[in-house]
Amino acid sequence: MKKSTTYLKYIVNFLLIALALDILSKALKFPLIVLTKFDLVHENTPSDFSTLDIILVTINLILLIYMGWLLLKLRKTVYDSESKSLFSKANKSIFKQVGNGLIYYSIAIFIVRLVEKLSGQIENINDSSAYLFGHNIGELISGRIPLLVIGIFILILADLIQDGYDLKQENDLTI
């Protein structure tokens, strides 16, 4: 059991590091867009940012912060499980929240990325637009599949934690 929780710690820490890097990249992009939008930066910056770009980056940043909060909850739960049993209703609830959160995040990011792609294609409508639309949808879906798999895996872990809790309760009642 100790080896399994160690692996789970590695996975959660890896996800947190990847998320922190993504938040950092989005957070650095946000001031550039805002400064360019209000014409405060005049050096070699693209000035074709629209209000939609600001809205999409803001939504993206909010979603990333939400995922960070969920993963920090999961990390706290995994690290606290050494002092007490991993099989509890509270842990099952947190794992279920994180699994559902990953799935919701994946769907929301898919929608944000789709709007980003479509906003760039609306100006250039031609015969190959249908092909580009299909290609972009496929690319966006393939980018979200790993996150969906991780979310489903965490939901399976939540069910296993519930089963373990039930077995532990049953074992405690047996003489």
Residue range 18-55, pLDDT digits in tens: 878 877 877 777 677 666 666 665 555 555 667 777 78
pTM for the structure as a whole: 0.75
Residue range 98-138, pLDDT digits in tens: 999 989 988 998 888 888 877 766 555 565 667 777 777 88
Question: Could you tell me where the beta strands, DSSP code E, fall in 25-132?
Answer: none
Per domain, the residue ranges of the chain are 2-173
Q: Any residues with CB less than 8 A from the CB of 74 and at least 6 apart, and which?
A: 12, 94, 95, 98, 154
Residue range 139-149, pLDDT digits in tens: 888 878 888 88
CA 163 to chain centre: 26
pLDDT for the residue numbered 104: 92
Distance between CA atoms of 155 and 135, rounded to whole angstroms?
Answer: 30
Q: Any residues with CB less than 8 A from the CB of 63 and at least 6 apart, and which?
A: 105, 108, 109, 112
Reading phi first (left if > 0) and then psi (alpha if -120 to 50, else beta), residue 74 is in alpha
Higher pLDDT, 11 or 121: 11
